[in-house]
Amino acid sequence: MRTVRKRNADRQRAVPRGECALCGGELYAGSACWRVWGRTLCEECLIPWLLAELEPYRTRWEEAEL
């Protein structure tokens, strides 16, 4: 008898391997996440966080120096 691994892990039974630093959402093996400055962010939190971090650089086209 040999062990057969499932190709698609059952998400209901998967054990979380970490959590998002912002929302606390569970991160599973193989799920997309971003390690930014020592913190791990989930896919849902990345863009809002990134836009907030880039806020000092935000301007309007008319105000930008060309």
Q: Which residue ranges make up the site for Zn ion (CB under 5 A)?
A: 20, 22-23, 25, 42, 45
35 with 43: CB under 8 angstroms?
no
DSSP 8-state symbol, 16: P
Residues paired with residue 19 on neighbouring β-strands, in sequence order: 26
Nearer to Zn ion, 24 or 56 (CB): 24
Tokens 């599973």, residue located: 28
Residue 19 CB, nearest approach to Zn ion (Å): 8
Residue 21 CB, nearest approach to Zn ion (Å): 7
Nearer to Zn ion, 18 or 25 (CB): 25
